[in-house]
Structure 1
């Protein structure tokens, strides 16, 4: 009988301990669910306001939420869920989702367009897994700020941005990360082309 007891005791003990910690983790996850959701929403609001170049000075999540709710609308247009910057009843700018393969995984983000789709007004990324210090630098402001006010009214061969010095140098490629830079250029060109075709504006 002693042998039988010693055999089952560790199993019962581990089962109870495992159940206890599963319960704790589940309770913690449930308790923080709303906070995590708010933080994720705040991060997206921040990026959309950054694209529109209307971030509040404080960068406080509550202030960002206030500006976002006052100025930005979400709608389905051109086959995509986009964000629209409003000035009263007037549409000022659009944040269009873009996505494509990078060097190590999917790169997804939003590209800002002005009211008549003639300029790229900004860009930011919501997901990327490129190499830190190299391709990962696409998330740095020094790279993203190059996309402000890029004229795309004169489009050739369906290409809206240029990262080659020989052909215009609108956007400098990241040193040591030419594949990631080319991937960003490609996903922007392909997704904007698709968006414009569905809108029938290009």
Structure 2
């Protein structure tokens, strides 16, 4: 085919496009398993944090090993919850929480002990709150408040309450009252539902 032919650039572009598509497909095939593994490890690390199980967060192999040795995954509605076991004995549950935030949906897990009397921790899987304000729910100082909260006698049906309200046990984030309220509301709603549905079966 002559280079001056009208068809030449069309054929050339078609061949070039086919080659580029093949290369991209090949790269995607190579990287997809790694991306999926990293995503899985990130989730496992967060669930271990909820259960307050120490692990080297920079060591994917250790995270995978510790998770597989201690945690079981269970179906729950259209998602999953997780069970922390020592041998055959249940120690705690990681309960899924989800609700609206200021800028998007907030999802995560709240941990509770086997008797549903005390929290073990909290972790967020997804949140789009304002960095430096509502986004601070993902920071350790806020999350660590959810270790060891007594939920055996809810106040007006609520397990977690922002201070200084009656029965308050959580310090809301300064300047992010709405996000703080969204979080406690979803915890109270979803934890109550989980205990009512799954509590008697576990």
- Give your verdict on TM over 0.5: yes
Q: 1:58 to 1:41 in 2, by over 3 A?
A: closer
Number of the residue aligned with 1:161: 160
Deviates more, 1:87-96 or 1:157-166: 157-166
Provide the residue aligned with 2:173 in structure 1. 174
Residue-by-residue CA offset, 1:37-84 (whole Å, 9 max, x unaligned): 110110011001111111224641101111111111112368862111
User: What is the count of residue pairs matched by the alignment?
Assistant: 198
Q: Which secondary structure does the structure 1 equivalent of 2:131 belong to? A: coil
Q: Which residue of 1 aligns with 2:109?
A: 110
SS class of match (1:150)? coil
How large is the Cα RMSD of the aligned pairs? 2.2
Distance 2:195 2:65 in 1: 31
- The alpha-carbon deviation at position 11 of structure 1 amounts to 4.2
Q: Which moved more, 1:69-78 or 1:99-108?
A: 69-78
1:1-202 pair list within 5 angstroms: 5-6=5-6, 8-57=7-56, 59-76=58-75, 81-199=80-198
Question: Are the aligned partners of 2:45 and 2:57 in contact in 1 as well (CA < 8 Å)?
Answer: no
Which structure 1 segments of 5+ residues have no match?
A: none
Q: Is the 8 A contact 1:78 1:196 kept in 2?
A: no
Secondary structure of the equivalent of 1:165? coil
Structure 2: distance between partners of 1:109 and 1:26: 33
TM-score by structure 1 length?
0.88
5+ residue gaps, structure 2, are: none
Deviation at 1:130, TM superposition (A): 1.2
Write the distance in 2 (CA, Å) between the matches of 1:153 and 1:78. Answer: 25
| TM-score (ref. length: structure 2) | 0.88
1:76 match: secondary structure: strand
CA separation of 1:172 and 1:23: change in aligned 2, threshold 3 A: same
Deviations 1:82-140 (A, max 9, x none): 11111111101111111111111111111100010011110001111111111111111
